[in-house]
Amino acid sequence: MIHSVRFKCVLDTNVIYPIEIRDLLFWFAYYELFTPKWSEHIFDEWRDVMIRKGISEDEANKRVEKANIAFPDALVSNYSGLINSLELPDPKDRHVLAAAIKTNANVIVTNNIKDFPKNYLASFGLTVKTADDFLTDIIDLNPEQAVKAFKQLVLNRRNPDLDEFQVLDILRNRGLKDTADFLHSQL
């Protein structure tokens, strides 16, 4: 079995929200398929998105707190000093790169890959992947453990209870087509 827990990945806000992508990433991390990393900036953005989408501030804060409790080593600190020295197409993404550099991450997982030029990231020893590409790579590295994590996600789902195939359809609708197809092939 290949253990990839040493594989550190900074999760950008757009893969933490929507919930279905976050759940799969978090269950894969819980099953030690990779080590998640994030920053206060990323979680502030996540909190703002949840509130914009109609989730109460109290509930949004609870979700952020639960994530930090579930993964106590995920929060990257002392990265702010790097932000202004970085150059990205969208300056608002510099904090993501700064957190990745500070924690010696391997990958930034984001669905805005155009905002993270591959050559520039390579100069910091980083790559960028969409959630779908990242998750399919993780499944490919350890299909048995990935299927266990997926099945646990399905078992823990509430409101509504869904079966594996219904959850796979939701993942496809959230842009995780290759991930869902790969998981489906492993069931």
pLDDT at res. 5: 60
For residue 151, what pLDDT is reported? 96
**CA–centroid distance for 13 within its chain:** 8
Task: Give the chain's domain count.
Answer: 1
- What is the extent of the structural domain holding 46? 8-186
Residue 2 within any structural domain of the chain: no
pLDDT score recorded for residue 78: 96
Question: In this structure, is residue 1 part of a structural domain?
Answer: no
List the structure tokens of 171.
Answer: 């993942």
Question: Apex CA 112: angle with CA 109 and CA 115, to 5°?
Answer: 105
Task: Tell me what pLDDT residue 1 has.
Answer: 44
The string of DSSP letters for 98-138 reads: HHHHHTT-SEEE-S-GGGS-HHHHHTTT-EEE-HHHHHHHH
Structure tokens at 80: 């702010």
Query: What six digits make up the tokens of 48?
Result: 């703002």
Predicted pLDDT of residue 3: 53
Q: Is residue 123 part of a domain?
A: yes
Residue 59 amino acid letter:
E
User: How high is the pLDDT of residue 103?
Assistant: 96
3 occurs within a structural domain: no
Q: Residue 2's pLDDT is what?
A: 47
Residue 136 and residue 18: Cα distance in Å, rounded?
Answer: 18
Q: CA geometry: angle at 120 spanning 114 and 126, to 5°?
A: 90
Residues in the chain, pLDDT under 50: 1-2
Helix axes 177-186, 143-156, angle to 10 degrees: 100
* CATH number, domain containing residue 131: 3.40.50.1010
